[in-house]
Amino acid sequence: MQKISLDARAREHLERAAESPAGRSAETVHGGHEHTLRQTLVTLRAGTALTEHDNPGEATVLVLRGRVRLHSGDDSWEGMAGDLLIVPRARHGLEAVEDAAVLLTVVKKP
């Protein structure tokens, strides 16, 4: 069994995001290319974003800290710490309304 402190990793990656010119930092905490399930910790400084991209399969965004806005086409959903956002099966993007840390969970399409 393996235990990961998402709180500690989020703190660390928020510091990295603050120092990064892109304003973000990420780490795959479980899974990866050789697995179907992948969980990635993503941190974003307020005002930065993951630009619109395709959804590779089923996906959720669990907001660990701060506030984010998930958008797809003309629709958008805001989430704050503790909220679970279901990622639409369409092109979408994620922007940080406040400094934020999220856990992105993806199950890739076969």
Closest by CA to 105, choosing from 85, 91, 75, is 85
> DSSP class of residue 46?
T
pLDDT in tens, 6-55: 999 999 999 999 999 999 999 999 987 788 899 999 999 999 999 888 88
pLDDT in tens, 43-102: 999 999 998 888 878 999 999 999 999 999 999 999 999 999 999 988 999 999 999 999
Structure token digits, residue 50: 């993951």
Q: How many CA atoms lie within 13 A of 72 on its CB side?
A: 12
